[in-house]
Amino acid sequence: MATGIDRPSSSNLSILESVLEHVRSAAPPGARIELAIETDLSDAGLDSLARMDVVNRIEQQYKIRFKEETLYDLESVQDLVALIENELDPELGAFAPSVRGPVRGRNSVVADGTELIQEVQHARAIELPNASSGTTPTTVRLSEVDQFEARVVGITNAGLKLPFYRVSERVQGTNAVIAGREVVSFTSFDYVGMARDVRVAEAAKEAIDRFGTSASASRLVGGNNTLLEDLDRELADFIGAEAASVFPSGYGTNASLFGHLFNEEDLILYDDLAHNSIVQGAKLSNAKRRAFPHNDAAFLDDLLTDVRSSYRRVVIAIEGVYSMDGDFPDLPHFLDVKHRHNAMLFVDEAHSIGVMGPHGRGLCEHFGVSADEGDLWMGTISKALGSSGGYMAGRRSLIDYLKYTTPSMVFSTAASPASAAAALTAIRLLKREPERVARMQEQSRLMLKLSRDSGLNTGDSHLTPIVPVILGNSKLCLWMSEQLLARGINAQPILYPAVPENASRLRFFITADHSDEDIWRTVQSLIELVPLGRRLLND
């Protein structure tokens, strides 16, 4: 690729030095390459997340914002130096657009004057302080907002509708009313029918009568109540852990926990398909972090053999069930790696609690191992437990410490009384009615079998309620979602960049309440519509 510099001058020598420093600190453990101006970022071990991390740090340091498209084919240290050089135009100061013709491809030549003018206006409007004079209000334009808008317009111009933020007017179990029409929904995490159970609803209503609609404070300082305390105990017993504590939110639990327990002396290793809350938490921690290939415990074993001794703490973060693919990890193998390398194991059971194991007690029950073997059992009450909130379970001493110190617990209002009562009742019901779990597992087996027998690609999904139908074309996924809705079936697409384009898919969440008829009808519609859509979209 073309570069903006041949040989480092004295001014760009310091740029080079700081780029090398950023790359060095983002490089994963075990990357032993000598860094130089020509070093390829992949050779330095930087995956896409680590590259973005480097880019973010550079943007902060130089107070610049690179155009998104200039980042697509960033290959080497030299490319980064050239990008910075291009942004630091002496005439306009640090916020200048790339008028000298940025480094690469699409951007290397300013194709016409309009684009240039837009670039200049854009950069000034976005970034330059005091860009307006007098009383004229300043319009702050953000490049990512413009790009998003362009993407939405592109979809609409292609005659497609965005299926996100679809509005339900009423929801009753698996049935919803959308745009005045009754549909069967495959978009809910209510895996074992708790959110529609009258006993759960009654408990939530009573809790409002007794405690009001809000906990009105964090648990630590006034928001605690008997419902939350009972729920802590029920959860610990259900999971088989010494103790558990209900947090205000599942997302917040992860986003806060990693930064709380781990710092620059530590290493966080998370599955390549880990939920955004885990990745964000890891980012906030300042620990070294690295994604490892999906479900690959053997890879971790090799890596830790090389690097374990360089770190104070190492944590391996996995999920009980992966919500994009509907597969799950080989827990005993991960436990073995954890023990061999004196690492901690964090398991996010958001989609496995209430789902895996004969009684829905989660991944430990599925594999017949004790929760004492792992360290940090995180989960949510927002899915199979028909409520809203998160939890942490594990050794009592650790949970006590987390209750008193984790920012998302200490500084956030507790889960509402209605939420606590709903989850508490849901767990007690599930203990008495494990057949709900068997029913959900039976229905998801039916969906998987019918789909596979019809030649649909369901990826690695097995034994879980999440069944993706991989179509490999975002437009086709959008079209399918719309067509299914017209037939009274509500299913959401998962598109690039959430997954690679060739893995774009429709995702079906199967619950105990879906009837055989719901599932037959859905697979029949898929069989009829997919070939039609491919023909129409010339796929």
Q: How far is the CB of 323 from ligand PMP (least distance, A)?
A: 5
CB contact at 8 A, 73 and 48: no
Of the pair 78, 254, the CB lying nearest ligand PMP is at: 254
323 binds ligand PMP (CB under 6 A): yes
Amino acid at 132: S
What is the crossing angle of helices 516-536 and 435-453, to 10°?
A: 30
The residues in 410-439 that bind ligand PMP, with binding defined as CB under 6 A, are none
How many residues bind ligand PMP, per CB under 6 A? Answer: 14
| Torsion region of 469: left, alpha or beta (phi above 0 gives left; psi -120 to 50 gives alpha) | beta
Residue nearest to ligand PMP (CB): 250
Q: How far is the CB of 240 from ligand PMP (least distance, A)?
A: 20
277 binds ligand PMP (CB under 6 A): yes
Q: How far is the CB of 450 from ligand PMP (least distance, A)?
A: 25
Q: How far is the CB of 50 from ligand PMP (least distance, A)?
A: 22
348 binds ligand PMP (CB under 6 A): yes
From the list 14-22, 72-80, 248-256, 337-345, the region that binds ligand PMP by CB under 6 A is 248-256
Pair of tokens at residue 497: 């960049």
27-36: long-range pairs with CB below 8 Å, 24+: 28/288, 28/290, 29/267, 29/288, 29/290, 29/303, 29/306, 29/307, 29/310, 29/311, 30/303, 30/306, 30/307, 35/77, 36/77
DSSP letter, residue 327? -
CB contact at 8 A, 244 and 391: yes
From the list 46-54, 146-154, 159-167, 346-354, the region that binds ligand PMP by CB under 6 A is 346-354
Q: In what helix (H) or strand (E) does residue 314 lie, and over which residues does it extend?
A: strand 314-319
**Residue 482: which residues within 8 A CB-CB, separation 6 or more?**
160, 161, 163
| SS3 at position 398 | helix
CB atoms within 10 A of CB 195: 25
DSSP secondary structure of 235-297 = HHHHHT-SEEEEES-HHHHHHHHHHHH--TT-EEEEETT--HHHHHHHHHHTSEEEEE-TT-H
Q: How far is the CB of 320 from ligand PMP (least distance, A)?
A: 8
From the list 19-27, 45-53, 102-110, 250-258, the region that binds ligand PMP by CB under 6 A is 250-258
275 binds ligand PMP (CB under 6 A): yes
Q: How far is the CB of 144 from ligand PMP (least distance, A)?
A: 23
What is the crossing angle of helices 48-62 and 10-26, to 10°?
A: 140
Of the pair 44, 261, the CB lying nearest ligand PMP is at: 261
- The length of the chain in residues reads 539
Q: How far is the CB of 495 from ligand PMP (least distance, A)?
A: 17
From the list 116-124, 244-252, 309-317, 517-525, the region that binds ligand PMP by CB under 6 A is 244-252
Phi, psi of 169 (to 5 degrees): -90, -25
Pair of tokens at residue 28: 């994963």
Of the pair 66, 251, the CB lying nearest ligand PMP is at: 251
CA distance 252 to 391: 10
Q: How far is the CB of 8 from ligand PMP (least distance, A)?
A: 45
Of the pair 127, 348, the CB lying nearest ligand PMP is at: 348
**Residue 155: which residues within 8 A CB-CB, separation 6 or more?**
161, 162, 478
250 binds ligand PMP (CB under 6 A): yes
In the shown chain, the binding pattern of residues 371 to 400 toward ligand PMP, with x for contact by CB under 6 A and - for none, equals: ---------x-x-------x----------
Pair of tokens at residue 191: 């895996």
Q: How far is the CB of 254 from ligand PMP (least distance, A)?
A: 6
Q: How far is the CB of 501 from ligand PMP (least distance, A)?
A: 22
From the list 7-15, 139-147, 198-206, 245-253, the region that binds ligand PMP by CB under 6 A is 245-253
188 binds ligand PMP (CB under 6 A): no
Q: How far is the CB of 491 from ligand PMP (least distance, A)?
A: 17
Of the pair 193, 252, the CB lying nearest ligand PMP is at: 252
The residues in 15-54 that bind ligand PMP, with binding defined as CB under 6 A, are none
| SS3 at position 152 | helix
Q: How far is the CB of 538 from ligand PMP (least distance, A)?
A: 35
Phi, psi of 304 (to 5 degrees): -70, -30
Of the pair 55, 246, the CB lying nearest ligand PMP is at: 246
In the shown chain, the binding pattern of residues 349 to 368 toward ligand PMP, with x for contact by CB under 6 A and - for none, equals: -xx-----------------
**Residue 325: which residues within 8 A CB-CB, separation 6 or more?**
273, 459, 460, 461, 466, 468
Provide the binding-site residues for ligand PMP, judged by CB under 6 A: 249-251, 254, 275, 277, 319, 323, 348, 350-351, 380, 382, 390
